[in-house]
Structure 1
Amino acid sequence: MSFIQKLNRAWCESNSLLMVGLDPDTTRLPVELKDRPDAIFEFCRRIVDATAPYVCGFKPQIAYFAAARAEGQLEDICAYIRENHPELPVVLDAKRGDIGATAVQYAKEVFGRYGADAVTVSPYLGSDSVEPYLDWEGKGVIVLCRTSNAGGSDLQFLETDGIPLYMRVADLVANKWNRNGQCGLVVGATYPNELAAVRKAIGDDVPLLVPGIGAQGGDVAATCAAGCNSKKQGMMINSSRAILYAQGPGDWTEAAGQAALETRDSINAHR
């Protein structure tokens, strides 16, 4: 099953547009895990199991694993999701962007070593830097467009012939690179006007990975109004810290599950 097929099925079967980001900060792990050699894997495993009923997928951020020399644990959690929650896609958040020969190796890493269903990439080096990912049949390639951070405006708002660069990227991805229906775009919840403009420009079929709710302060109602397609789907609305490190009356896994449930229900109430 391709990434897009798996994502479409997850939207329907889970009744959720929520994606949980796996950003295991070693300084914030529960005390009970801190001395374990597999602490990062175990933390992510428990988060995955607690939140899986309420999500449309998971987005591990490779930097958190690599900084802790835990790439092996990233392999393990990707394998765990494939084996125990095979209906949920895994998007590896790597934001890769390099020349074609190097991109070939990055694609092998993402889709071969980690077995991810999709990857985030930068469009800055152009089509030949993205092509190696597109060569992997059925795998998703999610291109940075209008990112959720304030500094994204430094380049993404630059105009060419009166059109901002992020809209050029949206057009390029939707109408040229997406020839096999593999592509998506990253557009932040923190910029609902730009999110609406991108959705209008690309139509219904290109999925959007939407970071920025939760800890970054993006508004759920505005995000749903701006980014949903005509089927009231079309988005992977990511939340990481607000779910991973949620506080509640029970233990941390129960708190994470409750936070995921409440976030899913909030999204559903506005779409």
Structure 2
Amino acid sequence: MTFTQKLNTAWQSQQSLLMVGLDPDAARLPASLQGKPDAIYQFCTAIVDATAPYVCGFKPQIAYFAALRAEEQLEAICQYILKHHPHLPLVLDAKRGDIGSTAEQYAREAFERYGADAVTLSPYLGFESVQPYLSWKDKGVVLLCRTSNPGSAALQMIEDAKGEPLYLRVASMVAQEWNADGQCALVVGATYPEELAKVRARVGDMPLLVPGIGAQGGDIPATVKAGSDSQGMGMMINSSRAILYARKGDDWAHASAEAARETRDAINAARAALASD
């Protein structure tokens, strides 16, 4: 199954647009795991198992693992997801951006070492930086477009001579020129629902990875209204910290499961309300 096929199947079978980000912060791990050599692995696999019934996929952020010298634990976590939850897409959040043989090695890292179904990339270097990933025909590439951070406007909102902002140029370029085999998706933040709606209108039913709900404050009904595709799906709405660290104490995994269920239900309530309008 290709990435987009696997994602579409997960949306349908799970009835969920929620993606859980795996961003393990050593300072916030449960007390019961502090000091254990495999604490990151134990924490993340417990979160995966607890939240799997409520999500459409998982998105480990590589920086959190690399900073802790825990890349081997990330490998093991990815293998765990692929073995125990093979129906759920695995998106490696790496935001790579380079060309030539370097990009080829980054692609091998994402798709061979970690077994990811898709990887996040920066489009700033142009098509040459994306092409090595697209040669993996069953894998996906998720390009930064209109990101959720406030400072992104300094570049992404720059307008060309025709008044078109850069983020919409990126959306058009990816949809019309780079997506020949249907492998592409875009990152568009929930914190900017107006821009999210413009991207959706520009790219049709292309999948969107949408960070910014939960700790970043993105509004779920506004996100669903702006970003849903023609089938009422089309998004991987990511939440990380609000789910990972839902509660301290011995019941932390259960609390994460409840947070994931509540977030999924809020998204589905917004979808139902939109469908009834």
Under a length normalisation based on structure 2, what TM-score does the superposition of the two structures give? 0.96
Distance in 2 (CA, whole Å) between partners of 1:68 and 1:123 is: 27
Distance in 2 (CA, whole Å) between partners of 1:12 and 1:110 is: 26
SS at match of 1:45: helix
In the alignment, what sits opposite 2:155?
Answer: 155
SS at match of 2:130: helix
Q: How does 1:72-221 map to 2 (within 5 A)?
A: 72-161=72-161, 162-204=163-205, 206-221=206-221
SS at match of 1:160: coil
SS at match of 2:223: helix
In the alignment, what sits opposite 1:3?
Answer: 3
Instruction: Tell whether 2:192 aligns with 1:222.
Output: no
- Post-superposition Cα deviations, 1:117-171, rounded to whole Å, max 9, x if no partner, equal 0000000000001000101111000000000000110100011121100000000
Report the identity percentage: 69
- Post-superposition Cα deviations, 1:198-217, rounded to whole Å, max 9, x if no partner, equal 0001112x100000000000
SS at match of 1:163: coil
Distance in 1 (CA, whole Å) between partners of 2:257 and 2:249 is: 12
Query: Is the contact made by 2:142 and 2:185 (CA closer than 8 Å) also made in structure 1?
Result: yes
Q: 1:134 corresponds to which letter in structure 2?
A: L
Unaligned runs of 5+ residues in structure 2 are 272-277
Distance in 1 (CA, whole Å) between partners of 2:256 and 2:167 is: 34
Structure 1 runs (4+) deviating above 6 angstroms are: none
In the alignment, what sits opposite 1:26?
Answer: 26
More off after superposition, 219-228 vs 160-169: 160-169
Distance in 1 (CA, whole Å) between partners of 2:50 and 2:116 is: 21
Q: How does 1:62-81 map to 2 (within 5 A)?
A: 62-81=62-81
Alpha-carbon deviation of 1:230? 1.3
Query: Is the contact made by 1:56 and 1:236 (CA closer than 8 Å) also made in structure 2?
Result: yes
Distance in 1 (CA, whole Å) between partners of 2:153 and 2:26 is: 30
Distance in 1 (CA, whole Å) between partners of 2:235 and 2:35 is: 37
Alpha-carbon deviation of 1:100? 2.1
Distance in 1 (CA, whole Å) between partners of 2:247 and 2:85 is: 25
SS at match of 1:270: helix
Distance in 1 (CA, whole Å) between partners of 2:4 and 2:111 is: 15
Alpha-carbon deviation of 1:262? 0.1
Q: 2:168 corresponds to which letter in structure 1?
A: M
Distance in 2 (CA, whole Å) between partners of 1:46 and 1:127 is: 38
Alpha-carbon deviation of 1:250? 6.8
